[in-house]
A and B are shown apart, each in its own frame.
Chain A
Amino acid sequence: MATGTQSFPKQAGQPDWIDRLEQFKTPFFYAILIAWAIICLAPLYFTLVFSLKPVENAYTAPIWWPTPFTLANYDTVLRSFDLFPRWLMNSTIVAVVTTALRVLFCSMAGYAFARIEFPFKNFLFNALLLSMMMPGVVTLIPKFLIIGPGILRGGLEIGSLTIPTGFNMIDKLGGVILPHVADAFGVFMMTQFYKSFPKELEEAATIDGTGRLGTFFRIVLPVSQTQLITLALLTFQGEWNRFMEPLLILRSPENFTLPLGLQWFRGEYYTLYSIVLAGSLFNTLPILVLFFLFQRYFIQSIATTGSKEA
């Protein structure tokens, strides 16, 4: 794009007003950036301020500074209210396990689509692309039934044999994890990546007599690091923040994930909003840390999602 305020030789026919506008360009863009930055920071700032004020001051001035100051809300979150650490733990389990499995399964399938010849490959890949267009809401109810009670209550009876038609994972973290361990977008992303990946490395390994599995795990996976981290971050963030599926599947408070727990806590103890605010910051903090550590990959992951259609 144009290089800031640097002036270009004036062309014939260019109206004067455009030139005159040029000089206001930089301040104008700064104003936009600063205004939006304030909008972005304000809610988090107020959350931080009020999480450092006593619970009974959740709605009282001053709003700009935490007076009177207290760490009591954080103490409640971390020590006196046992459910918070449990929710933190549950969220961590769900996010870490889903991320690890999704990265592994998607890169395996992506590698197969890019490199291995097998019957119905193109058909399956087209089905995968088609499924990416499908809105998630349509499978909401069947997914719930499959994870939980099954599509036939009490199972399918054939003679004396009863075959369960569901995973029976209501109120279990596994029920939140299972449907998301592999998905079309992840496979698509990895397929695109492996298609552009030089074949020579693998060929060398094949000559050495290393089988497909060995080649994949010992050679291909380690060199796909960047792409794997990108997919991992995308997944972790999505799973850490997920709400709808845990809401449908998890039932008892000790099995809740953090977002679900915070929402539930708000309903049970609506007068203790400062604690909700402190807890909210705990939900945001891990992602923020990851974001600062892996900023480059986050930006890359968004660029990747963006170029999916292009």
Chain B
Amino acid sequence: MATRLNRAKWNEAAMGYLFTLPWLFIFFTFIVFSIGYAFYLSFTKYNLLSPPEVWGLEGYRRVLSDELFMTKALPNTFKYTLIVVPLQTFISLVLAFAMDQKLRLRRVFRTIFYLPSVTSSVVISLIFVWLFAPQGVINQIFRLSVNWLDNVNTAFYVIMGMNIFTTSGTLMLIFLSGLQDIPTSLYEAAEIDGADKMQSFLYVTIPMLRPVIFFVVTVGVIGCFQVFDQIFVMTAGGPLDSTTTLTYLIYKWAFRDTTIKMGQAAAAAVILSLIILGVTLLQRRVIEGSGSSTA
């Protein structure tokens, strides 16, 4: 009896591993091992031609004293995130409220708003390069002659604007489903308690949306800190490095420069990941700590 039970248990365990095997393989190869290997590489000098050579913290020192990293990529990335995340969150929230008014044609609007999100980042970037060209449609409509993407004062803002434009549709849908999940009984209770519209918005809608806001801001921050495709296609980091972001710089060091600096790029990637984790945790405390303790 005991052996049979044991056998059944063994079978069950074997089944468990059989079912998870493909995922386990990918997980251990491309996540667990990769993270470990990324750390290892970050302490080495590696140009792909000769084997990695351990040099301790020298890679980190080089990253942190690199002018392009410190004066361009790092501030640019923060600037990009600080402008794009609040704007896309605000716009998508406003759109979600407007959509939640049960107006006519809202299904049509929903489809239209989602269009920019189904278009690939490369395609939308190629379209914007052409729209914002010196003789492009934007200059023709507004009768301007600005070389948008070749001007240090405008290039980065065009990329930011485009990103806000492409992500707002998806974020709007996330907010909308969040709004629709708020039970009507809460609004009714607030009304019985004598709350006016403004109060029920402030004391019912916003607190109930807090987890969704946290999610949208987190996704936004993580995405913005790693922006790459748009930069690659639209400006390749230029003009004068005014659109070089951290991920673009990491790509440049690891794959594009004439002397490949894989170790240094890995160190920069570790630093960027720590920044992202730090910011995510900080904002979790800011958004969730200030209100009820929704986990």
Interface residues of A (CB under 8 A from B): 1-4, 8, 11-14, 18, 22, 25-26, 29-30, 32-33, 36-37, 39-41, 43-44, 46-47, 50, 58-61, 63, 101, 104-106, 108-109, 111-113, 116-119, 121, 124, 127-128, 131, 133-146, 149, 151-153, 178-179, 181-184, 187, 212-213, 216, 237, 240-241, 243-244, 247-248, 259-260, 262-263, 266, 273, 276-277, 280, 283-284, 287-288, 291-292, 295, 298-299, 302-303, 305-310
Chain B contact residues: helix, strand, loop or mixed = helix
Q: Which residues of A lie under 8 Å from residue B194 when comparing CB positions?
A: 11-13
| A273 adjacent to B130 (CB under 8 Å) | yes
| B27 adjacent to A182 (CB under 8 Å) | yes
Contact among A40, A41, A105, A308 with B23 in the assembled complex (CB-CB below 8 Å): A105
A292 to B250, CA, bound (A): 38
| B35 adjacent to A139 (CB under 8 Å) | yes
| A1 adjacent to B17 (CB under 8 Å) | no
| A118 adjacent to B270 (CB under 8 Å) | no
Contact among A43, A101, A153, A247 with B124 in the assembled complex (CB-CB below 8 Å): A43
Q: Which residues of A lie under 8 Å from residue B82 when comparing CB positions?
A: none
| A33 adjacent to B126 (CB under 8 Å) | no
Q: Which residues of A lie under 8 Å from residue B226 when comparing CB positions?
A: 135-137
| A112 adjacent to B101 (CB under 8 Å) | no
Q: From known contacts A112-B19, A179-B30, A262-B122, infer whether A46 and B174 are also in contact, taking CB-CB under 8 Å.
A: no
Q: Which residues of A lie under 8 Å from residue B212 when comparing CB positions?
A: 306, 310
| A112 adjacent to B37 (CB under 8 Å) | no
Q: How large is the interface on B (under 10, 10 to 19, 20 to 34, 35 or more residues)?
A: 35 or more
The 10 closest A-B pairs by CB, nearest first: A118-B16, A241-B120, A112-B19, A306-B174, A59-B135, A259-B122, A142-B34, A303-B177, A139-B34, A109-B23
Q: Which residues of B lie under 8 Å from residue A303 when comparing CB positions?
A: 173-174, 177
A299 to B110, CA, bound (A): 10
Q: Which residues of A lie under 8 Å from residue B218 when comparing CB positions?
A: 309
| A105 adjacent to B225 (CB under 8 Å) | no
5 more CB-based (< 8 A) A-B contacts, given A118-B12, A135-B277: A1-B97, A39-B165, A109-B20, A138-B38, A241-B123
Nearest-neighbour CB distance to chain B for A272, whole angstroms, equals 11
| A109 adjacent to B135 (CB under 8 Å) | no
Interface status of B136 (Cβ within 8 A of chain A)? yes
Interface status of B100 (Cβ within 8 A of chain A)? yes
| B111 adjacent to A105 (CB under 8 Å) | no
Nearest-neighbour CB distance to chain A for B288, whole angstroms, equals 10
Q: Which residues of B lie under 8 Å from residue A241 when comparing CB positions?
A: 119-123
A247 to B228, CA, bound (A): 12
**Binary CB contact string for chain B from 22 to 46 against chain A (1 if under 8 A, 0 otherwise):** 1111110111111101100100000
Nearest-neighbour CB distance to chain B for A37, whole angstroms, equals 5
Interface status of B255 (Cβ within 8 A of chain A)? yes
Nearest-neighbour CB distance to chain A for B39, whole angstroms, equals 9
What residue in chain B is nearest A8 (Cβ atoms)? B191
| B126 adjacent to A280 (CB under 8 Å) | yes
Nearest-neighbour CB distance to chain B for A179, whole angstroms, equals 5
